[in-house]
Amino acid sequence: MIGLEWSQAIDQWGHQDATSPAETRRSWLHRAPEAQVLALYRTIRESDADAPAPWWLRALEAGRLQSRAEGFAVEDRVAKLLSARTGWVYVPWSADGDTGFWEFMPSERKLHEPGVPTTLMLTDRHPGWIDVIRVHAGDTPEPLAVQGLADLRSNVARLESLAP
Residues 107, 17: Cα–Cα separation, whole Å: 23
Of 129, 100, 127, 131, residue with least CA distance to 118: 131
pLDDT at residue 108, as a whole number: 87
Give the residue extent of every domain in the chain.
Answer: 2-160
| Model confidence pLDDT, tens digit, residues 27-68 | 889 999 999 999 999 999 999 999 999 999 999 999 999 999
**Dihedral pair phi/psi, residue 103, rounded to 5°:** -125, 140
**Dihedral pair phi/psi, residue 72, rounded to 5°:** -60, -40
Q: Specify which residues 101 forms β-bridges with.
A: 91
Q: Residue 127's Cα: distance from chain center in Å?
A: 14
Residues 137, 109: Cα–Cα separation, whole Å: 12
Contact 15, 24 (CB under 8 A): yes
Computed over its alpha carbons, how large is the radius of gyration of the chain?
16
pLDDT at residue 87, as a whole number: 96
pLDDT tens for the 164 residues of the chain, in order: 677 788 888 877 666 788 899 998 988 899 999 999 999 999 999 999 999 999 999 999 999 999 999 999 999 999 999 999 999 999 997 667 788 999 999 998 888 788 999 999 999 999 999 999 999 999 999 999 999 999 999 999 999 998 88
Q: What is the DSSP letter of 24?
A: G
